[in-house]
Structure 1
Amino acid sequence: MDSHSKVFITGINGFTGIYLSKYFADKNFEVFGLANHNESKNPNIYICDLLEKEKLNAIIKEIQPNIVIHLAAISFVGHKNLSEMYDVNVLGTQNLLEAIKNEAKNSIRKVILASSATVYGNQSETILSENLSPNPINHYGISKLAMEFTAKTYFDTLPIIITRPFNYTAPEQNINFVIPKITKAFKEKASILELGNINVYREYNSINFICECYYKLAISNFYSEIVNLCSGKTHSLNEIINICTKISKHNLEIKINPDFVRSNEIYKLSGSPEKLYGMISLTNDYSIEDTLNKNFAD
């Protein structure tokens, strides 16, 4: 794939899309995107709803993308309008795949669809591999699994990779997520921070790790695959707090709020990166210290 290839990113103005568009631009790709709004007035960003089939077809026909990375989705688990969640996440994805199949068959080299690790749901395993049967426990996870099944019907006609990202973080992430919540408290020199169980271990990967994974998968020769975007490295919130204390040189009191503690919470949960690392090689080990330092630098 030459350096003047075109990448088309849906949800380009979202948290991940902003970082990913810069990553591909730095690799000399011509970056196009789909969004609900475009304050930047960037002519390469198109305003279109995934449910607007004809408009979507026209955009794909005009751009003739080589790579499509589909990030756009309703991802808030508590989203009240369930039919809208399924319409966007499932039917919106089908509309995009139809548009690519009908309008960009000759230009397309790779389609990457962002699913989610939430499709695994409740499992008896603590290291989640792609071989497990998905068992989602909320409508977001169910809609993403339905999206995966829909996408698999296009495996014969389009070069698709479906990714299942685990937790990742960076500056600009919504404060509803735990890492931004913690770093904000330290940056503002708060005296008290209320959290749930701080002794459970989870992945907290860097956005740079995620961007490199998307890029390497996009230029790889793999397709018709479902793969975790994970490192397998876990950290407890207690570890995160200790690192933040060291970076900020600020001590605060942690109060465990019983309302934030989930019943039967799994002590340690991570993805298996074995399949991912069999497909691509990464240039960086993306330490948690580096990741947290960036959250303090913004």
Structure 2
Amino acid sequence: MKRVLVTGVKGFTGRYVAAELAAHGWEVWGTGAHEAVGDARYRRADLVDAASLRRVVEEVRPDAVVHLAALAFVGHGDADAFYRVNLIGTRNLLSVLAPAEQPPECVLLASSANVYGNANEGVLRESTPPSPANDYAVSKLAMENMARLWMDRLPIVIARPFNYTGVGQADSFLLPKIVAHFQRRAEVIELGNLDVSRDFSDVRAVASAYRRLLEVCPVGETVNVCSGRTHSLREALAMAEAITGQSMRVEVNPAFVRANEVRRLGGDPAKLRKLIGEWDSPPLEETLRWMLEGASV
């Protein structure tokens, strides 16, 4: 049984990735910034503390690493924290893995499709020039560029996930916010532009893609993880109304509307499928139904 170390294992994505890996025969160990009681394979380790990371790597001796730990919410108020965690924290991890007595056979780094920004209308491919539009996206692109300095010493693969959702995601994100409003039978919801379309995947499908990328390990590649289908918030609302039989009044809050926001941003999953084989994400309606039913992880 191969041993994998998942950073951010207790986070939204981490829980699904850990379950996916365990279901396919991996011995899963994890790290996070907080204490967790009752998990023998979890270790507290802060990305900004290289010494704590070194202790974990020396103990676990992972055959592979999935690096998910990051500051992810774009609206987070502390811009400096994006760089401390996403850039410097990732560098700390790579600096510990590279000289390890037993270096990992694959290191999967989760970046973000936010690096493409909002300037490129239509279908985004890995060859689309990055144009990050906020500190979170800049920190992720900087992380990618920094990681390339380590590719002669570590077998690194970079994943760029587009939007994805599922049970357990915080309702500071748009689709969980919509779901939460329907679950409590709210009469009104405040949103931004209802007619911008984005590429949404199911977190379970993303976890599967990460596991398969880890097993194939196309070293040095950067890969979009996306469904290839786009939906607007208006369409997502209509799906939720059809599933629940409820209706909800929408009030557009100007504070949520971004100036010059492009109408459609979607990803091209062709490279992902070429690397890992047949793969798809469930239809968004199926994911919303799962979320609305409130199933557990």
Query: Which bin holds the TM-score, normalised by the shorter protein?
Result: over 0.9
Distance 1:121 1:21, change over 3 A: same
Pair 1:58-2:52 in alignment:
no
Contact (CA 8 Å) 1:116, 1:141: kept in 2 or not? yes
AA of the residue aligned to 1:114: A
Deviations 1:63-91 (A, max 9, x none): 11111000111223243433332122112
The correspondence for 2:201, drawn from 193, 199, 205, is 205
Structure 2 CA distance, aligned partners of 1:221 and 1:116?
Answer: 18
Q: What's the counterpart of residue 177 of structure 1?
A: 173
The correspondence for 1:246, drawn from 217, 242, 246, is 242
Matches within 5 A, 1:1-298: 4-106=1-103, 108-298=104-294
Distance 1:230 1:156, change over 3 A: same
Structure 2 CA distance, aligned partners of 1:196 and 1:83?
Answer: 26
**Shift of the alpha carbon at 1:28?**
2.2
AA of the residue aligned to 1:65: P
Distance 1:84 1:201, change over 3 A: closer
AA of the residue aligned to 2:119: Q
**Which of structure 1's runs of 4+ aligned residues deviate more than 3 A?**
78-84, 282-285
AA of the residue aligned to 1:156: D
Q: Identity of counterpart residues, as a percentage?
A: 38
Q: SS of 1:146's equivalent?
A: helix
Q: SS of 2:160's equivalent?
A: strand
Distance 1:290 1:133, change over 3 A: same
What's the TM-score, normalizing by structure 1? 0.94
Count of residues paired in the alignment: 294
Structure 2 CA distance, aligned partners of 1:178 and 1:270?
Answer: 17
Contact (CA 8 Å) 2:66, 2:108: kept in 1 or not? yes
**Shift of the alpha carbon at 1:30?**
0.8
Structure 2 CA distance, aligned partners of 1:230 and 1:176?
Answer: 21
**Shift of the alpha carbon at 1:229?**
0.9
**Shift of the alpha carbon at 1:58?**
2.0
Contact (CA 8 Å) 2:227, 2:281: kept in 1 or not? no
**Shift of the alpha carbon at 1:286?**
1.0
Contact (CA 8 Å) 2:164, 2:203: kept in 1 or not? yes
Unaligned runs of 5+ in 2: none
Give the RMSD, CA atoms, in angstroms: 1.6
